[in-house]
Structures are given as structure tokens and as C-alpha cells.
Amino acid sequence: MMRISMVKVCFLVALLATASQGLAEQVSPSKSPTLKERKSYDPPPEEMKADILMARGQYAEAISAYRALPSNSAVVWNKIGMAYHHLFALDEAEKAYTRSLELNSHYAPAANNLAAVYYAQHELSKAEHYYKKALKYAAEDPVIYCNLGTAYFAERKYTKGKKEYRKAFALDNNVFSPSQAAMVEAASSREQRIALNYYLAQTYAEAGQQEQALNFLRKAMDEGFRDRKRLNEDKEFAVLRATPQFKDLLAQENLN
């Protein structure tokens, strides 16, 4: 049975973020989208009607409405892909995202979402390729760094994954917060979940966000982390180790 895990938070965030950004953005093929451009795009009325259907979760109806629009818009094809993605029709989503990139090879949201499709299909090298492509044109987007890092974790490239997560966190220290992200069911190994949650605990501890650090440590322990020596030695937990909350957590997990 597949589990809900923090490992996959950023993927649905990517999909939903593009549903909010992509529902409000248009870019020229000659340049990459900026955050200002994403927020300033005002879609035409018929596209807005389709956007409303998408926002209401009426994905099949949204697809029909988007397909009635002119077929030369990378933005619209990305939205069609997202609607199929929400319906878990990944083959159709892949076709739509690919068409979006054919119309605008610099369109980062479509590249990001196409990568998410490949990730879901366990084609990790393709996912990695398209996340990197997306970052060429949206280097300020923390979600895409998060996604690339998660792909690296899935490939057990933990050092690379940590590096991308650090970039994501530097751009937005709430990027991994459950309050900023929706969970998605997906398969991942226990080893990967432990590594990812432990690294996030280190990241938040180093940033002085002790509550979040403890939350991720607890998640790692729930998955089976039991390395008391490492907890005592990792410099990121130097301050956290002195807190009553840290000691209580160790006592609850029989690691004191």
C-alpha cells in the first residue's frame, strides 16, 4: 500500500503552484517567466471560465473548456495537462505538457509538471532532466529545487538532494511546511523517507526553527531512525540537544 509521506510534498505543491501560477501567467517564447509576470497576467474571459472549473475540481469540464480555446497557447496546454494530472491520466498529461513545451520551450511550469509525470512513472532520469530544464527559466522558484532534490533522493543521490533542498529552503524557508503544501500518496522506500526527514530536521535546526526540526526528527524516528550517536554528534542539533523538547522526544522514542 502506498503511503502519504513528506517525500512527495513538493510534487503536488508543484502541480498546485502551477495551477495558481499557471492559471495566472503568460510568457513570450523569447524569455522566461518572472514572478512579476506570473502575477500580472490577466487571462481572457473564456480562459477564466475554464480556470474556475479547474479551481472547483471539475477537471473533465475544464479540459473541454480549455480545448475550445485557441490551440497555440503554451499556458493553456499546460493547464490541460494539469487537469489530466489531477485525474491521474498521466499519459494524457504527458502529451499536453509536451505540447506546451513545443509551443514554448522556455515555459518552466510545463517542464516542471512534465518532470512530475516522469517521476510518478519512475522514470527518474527523465524527471531530473526536465526539472533542470525548468530551473533554467525559473531559477527563483523554490518548488522546482525541492522537486529536483526529491528526485535525487529517490535515486539515492542524497548529497545532491540535500544541495537542492538547501537552495529551496534559502529561497523560501516555508517550502517544506505542511501548512504550505498538500500531501500526495506515492511510493518511497523507508530508507529514503528516513534520510529526507532527517535532513529536513537538520535544515530547520540549523535555521533555529526548533519546532519544525523536532517534527521532522519525529517523522524520521517513526520510519525507524535509531542512530543515537549521530544525534549526539551532528553539529546542526547542538542547540536543539539542550532543549527539554529534544530530551522528551528521545525519552518517548527510548533513545535517551
Of residues 232 and 2, more confidence is placed in: 232
Q: Residue 3 is inside which H or E element, if any? A: strand 3-4
Whether residue 82 has pLDDT greater than 70: yes
Domains of the chain: 3-139 (1.25.40.10)
- Looking at residue 41, its pLDDT comes to 65
DSSP 243: S
- Looking at residue 108, its pLDDT comes to 95
Q: How confident is the model at residue 56 (pLDDT cuts 50, 70, 90)?
A: very high
Rounded to 5 degrees, φ, ψ at 186 are -165, 155
Asked which of 2-11, 21-30, 115-124 is least confident by mean pLDDT, the reply is 21-30
Q: What is the mean pLDDT of residues 111-132?
A: 94
Q: How confident is the model at residue 204 (pLDDT cuts 50, 70, 90)?
A: very high
Q: What is the mean pLDDT of residues 53-80?
A: 95
- Looking at residue 135, its pLDDT comes to 96
Rounded to 5 degrees, φ, ψ at 4 are -85, 125
Q: How confident is the model at residue 63 (pLDDT cuts 50, 70, 90)?
A: very high
- For the chain, the maximum distance between any two Cα atoms, rounded to a whole number of angstroms, is 64
Of all residues in the chain, what percent carry a pLDDT higher than 70?
80
Of residues 88 and 26, more confidence is placed in: 88
Of residues 193 and 22, more confidence is placed in: 193
Q: Are 79 and 46 in contact (CB under 8 A)?
A: no
Sequence length of the chain is 256
- Looking at residue 196, its pLDDT comes to 87
pLDDT tens track for 126-136: 999 999 999 99
Q: How far is CA 228 from CA 206, 231, 255, in A?
A: 18, 5, 6
Rounded to 5 degrees, φ, ψ at 63 are -60, -45
| Exposed/middle/buried for residue 91 (C-beta within 10 Å: 0-12, 13-18, 19+) | exposed
Which one, of 143, 138, 114, lies nearest residue 10 by Cα?
143
* Interior/surface letters 186-196, b for 16+ CB within 10 angstroms, e for the rest: bebeeebbbbb
Report the first-to-last Cα separation within the chain, whole angstroms: 33
Share in percent of the chain as helix, strand, coil (round to 5): 70, 0, 30
Give the chain's mean pLDDT.
82
Whether residue 47 has pLDDT greater than 70: yes
Q: How confident is the model at residue 178 (pLDDT cuts 50, 70, 90)?
A: low
Of all residues in the chain, what percent carry a pLDDT higher than 90?
65
* Cell numbers describing residue 182: 498538500
Rounded to 5 degrees, φ, ψ at 248 are -65, -40
Which one, of 2, 17, 58, 20, lies nearest residue 182 by Cα?
17
Q: Are 167 and 131 in contact (CB under 8 A)?
A: no
- Hey, how many other C-beta atoms are within 10 angstroms of the C-beta on 222? 12
Q: How confident is the model at residue 181 (pLDDT cuts 50, 70, 90)?
A: very low
Whether residue 96 has pLDDT greater than 90: yes
Region of residue 80 (left: phi > 0; alpha: psi -120 to 50; beta: else) = alpha
Whether residue 251 has pLDDT greater than 80: yes
Q: How far is CA 17 from CA 34, 61, 144, 194, in A?
A: 14, 21, 10, 26
Q: Are 193 and 2 in contact (CB under 8 A)?
A: no
Tell me which amino acid residue 240 is: L
- Looking at residue 173, its pLDDT comes to 86
